[in-house]
Amino acid sequence: MSLFGDFSEKAFNFKQSKKEKIVTQSEHWSAAILSGSEDSRAIEEPIRSNYLKYFFGTIFIIVTVLSAQLFNLQVINGQKNLAYADNNRIRVRNIRAERGVIYDKNKQIIARNLANFDLIVLPNQLPKDEKERQALYENIAILANISKDEVVKKAEERGLKYSQPLLVATNISRDQALNVEEKSKDLKGFSLDTNPVREYLDGGSLSHFLGYTGRIALEDKVDPSIYTPTDLIGKNGLEKAYEPDLKGINGREQVEVNSSGKPIKLLASREAKAGNDLVLTIDKGLQEKMAQYLSEGLNNAGSMRGVAVAMDPNSGQILAAVSTPSYDNNLFAHGISNNIYNKLVNDPNKPLLNRIASGTYPIGSTIKPFDSAAALQEKVITPSTTIEDRGKIDVPNQYNPSIVYTFKGWKPEGLGVVNVSRAITWSSDIFFYVVGGGYQGFKGLGADRLITYLKKFGFGHKTGIDTNDEASGYVPTPDSKKARTGEPWYIGDTYNLAIGQGNLLATPLQLLIATSSIASGGTIYQPRLVKEIIAPEGKPVRTINPEVSANNFVSDENLRIIQEGMHRVVTEGTACCSIKNEVPVSVSGKTGTAETSSAGFDGKNSRTRPHAWFTSYAPSDKPTIAMVVLVENSGEGAEYAVPITKNILKWYFSPH
């Protein structure tokens, strides 16, 4: 008979005879005592009864504890424990979505993707045994050619229960990747991740606007349902501004694995969807030539810093944009070292600064067409109004006439009698002093009206370019001066503002927008670098249409007067005559020479080395391109900025 059967029979007999035993128990005891015998059976019976009570009590407690624990595992924490089990049995692998390509306007590739391998770890899949895990770390350190301490730090920095992939080594070589793949069955928790990186083909000339991609960092606030911690993301420029379009949607594979981690069954999968492509407004050919001619012009001027940027004045589309010095954004895309990054940050020429959209400068005489528009529109002058330019004007102090302030023009002997068109052509400072601030009974625009029109032309606020990264510039006002210095606004402040000096600061992009409005007939367009967004197979997704920021604040008649003056700048004025003789179309423009107290290219205080400007558009009658060239701390705009413009426009309008 079995142990459990024998036990059941005894228990049954015990119950049936219980009454008898109670009745006869005293007799057994009495007989044993009187006879002096040791009747063990009579004595042991009550002991066996207690033993059984203890035995059943213990069984009851054990069963109760086991039942409670089972209830806790299966009911209270059932889902959680099931997830742990699945986590050991099921592996989820992300399938990277290919990032969208970036093209120029003619569908030439500017940014594409390169194959890249990363080594990642899933901490919750690492061996639980400490010795086994340490041996694994040593193996990984050899395979990835990094220190064991680094492997440990990256694998355990978020704890061994962390279930998201963490980056251990980036950009590992193809040979290293093959070694990892061959030994994958012995590398529990570690695996390869194919994560393509960007390759930029613009030679660095467009880096400031393209931007670059990089690893997701803590400051990047992303949706965890879309991104994994090892993903790449646009960090700045167009890569950041158009991240939702370029990113794509990652795919997933859910695989069942055996106890050694080897895949045995594909449970579910979702294909990756590639990101959309960007078609820029940039003309790659023009971009390359602009970078070449700007570099040559800077060398001739002995400067290391400058800008050239061109736009279609009829749409706001940026055709080419070069800010020098620049940087190689491929360095950032592949993971820049601290040493190289610190060199870029500490370089006195500031290669990371986008001078086109974020550099602010006094713009000198390039402001004069906009002064003219304000004066004509406000009827302060007419086309026939004349002022005699004698080379200077003397202004007595209103409180102490014995104190006289002298404001000089660029030509000491003066330019003679000039009207507005001739004042633009020959850049008469005296004319614009008087028109801006008034003089000897002539009532000028005054600070308020001059400031109002400068802001209408786009100075003092952001242009809205689609990189979302630019400076506002600065248009000084009486109130802002009072708040900043505690001093009132003087007539001299108005004079300085009227010739683009004083505290006025603008970006080259703002000057380009304002010049384009003269060329286009009075319309200011929001600048754009992206023309359209297309699907990977080429199907249009979204077209970026021109967006008007302002228009109709200067009459057509007044604009024609300004256009005439700007055309004469090139044919007979300050920019004559190399452009007229060598560029195959008519060109209009305005030179500018802006004094500055900032440190020059040689590191010295360079008030005697002003910024050279030239802003232009062509053809004069039906403009298709507007352009601004700036050479920092070089000298006269006519000497250093005009030749660069000539070379670019000559190439642009010649057969090639």
Give the Cα separation of 600 and 202 in Å (integer).
28
Give the Cα separation of 126 and 132 in Å (integer).
9
Sign of CA dihedral 74, 79, 84, 86: positive
Token pair, residue 228, equals 């994994």
Query: What's phi and psi for 615, nearest 5 deg?
Result: -115, 140
Give the Cα separation of 614 and 575 in Å (integer).
9
Q: What is the dihedral of CA 256, 259, 262, 267, to 10 degrees?
A: 0
Give the Cα separation of 309 and 281 in Å (integer).
13
Pick the closest to residue 530 from 246, 231, 220 (CA basis).
246
Q: How distant, in Å, are the alpha carbons of 208, 290, 500, 592, 629 from that of 310?
A: 15, 9, 21, 17, 9
The helix (run of H) or strand (run of E) holding residue 587 is none
Give the Cβ contact number of residue 573 at 10 Å.
21
**Residue 365 bears catalytic tag:** yes
Query: What's phi and psi for 459, nearest 5 deg?
Result: -80, 145
CA atoms within 13 A on the CB side of 501: 22
Distance between first and last Cα of the chain: 107
- Which residue reads 């990892």 in tokens? 180
Q: Omega before 576 cis (within 30°)?
A: no
From the candidates 315, 326, 365, 421, which is the catalytic residue?
365
Residues 6+ apart with CB under 8 A from 521: 556, 559
417 and 389 Cβ atoms separated by less than 8 Å: yes
Pick the closest to residue 588 from 510, 655, 645, 523 (CA basis).
645
Exposure letters 551-571 (e unless 16+ CB within 10 A, then b): eebbeeebbebbbbbbbbbbb
Annotated catalytic residues are 365
